A and B are shown apart, each in its own frame.
Chain A
Amino acid sequence: MNPLETLKTAIANSFRSKLRTTLTVLAIFVGAFTLTITNGLGTGISNYIDSQVAAIGASNAFTVTRTDTNAGLGSGPQKYDPNTRVLAAGGRPGSTQVALTQADLDKIGAVPGITGVSPVTRLNTAYIQWNNQEKYQLSVSVLAGAQPQLDAGQNLDDASTVPQIILPSSYVSPLGLSDSAQAVGQDVTIGIPDATGTMRTVTATINGIEQNALLSSGGAFINKALSTALAQAQATGTTTASAPVYTTATALFAPSTAAQISDMKNRLSAAGYTAQTLDDRIGTVKTVINGIIGVLDAFAVIALIAAGFGIVNTLLMSVQERTREIGLMKAMGMGSGSVFALFSTEAAFIGLLGSLIGSGAAIALGTVVSNALARGPLSDLAGLQILSFAPGTVAVVILLVMAIAFIAGTLPAWRAARQNPIDSLRYE
Chain B
Amino acid sequence: MGNVIGIGAAPKRKEDQRFLTGRGNYVSDIKRPGMAAGVFVRSPHGHALLRGIDKSAALASSGVIAVLTGDDVKADGLGSLPCGWGISDAQGVPMKEPPFPMLAQGKVRFVGDMVAFVVAETPEQANAAAELLAIDYEVLPSVVGVLEAVRPGAPQLFDDVPNNICCDWELGDKAAVETAFRKAAHVAKLSLVNNRLIGNPMEPRAAIAEYEPGTDRFTLWTTSQFPHVVRFLMGALVLNIPQHKLRVVAPDVGGGFGVKQFHYGEEAVITWAAKRVKRPVKWVASRSEGYISDRHGRDHVTEAELALDETGKFLAFRVNTLANMGGYLSTFGPNIPTNLYGPLLGGVYTTPAIYCNVKVVFTNTVPVDAYRGAGRPEATFVLERIVDVAASEMGIDRVEIRRRNMIPKEAYPYQTPVLVQYDSGDPMGCLDGALVAANVNNFGIRKAASASKGKFRGLGYSTYVEACGLAPSRFAGRLGARGGLYESATVRVHPTGQVTVMIGTHNHGQGHETTFAQIVSDKLGVAFENVDIVFGDTDRVQFGMGTYGSRSLVVGGAALSKATDKVIAKGKKIAAHLLEAAEVDIQFESGKFSVAGTDRAKTFEEIAGAAYVPHDYPLEILEPGLEEQAYYDPVNFTYPGGCHIAEVEVDPETGTVTLVNYTAVDDVGTVINPMIVEGQLHGGIVQGVGQALFESAVYDEGSGQLLSGSLMDYCMPRADHLPMMKVATHSTLCTHTPMGVKGCGEVGTIGSPAAVINAVVDALSHLGVTHVDMPATPNRIWRLLQNASLPVAAE
A binds B: no
B: residues with CB less than 8 A from A are none
A: residues with CB less than 8 A from B are none
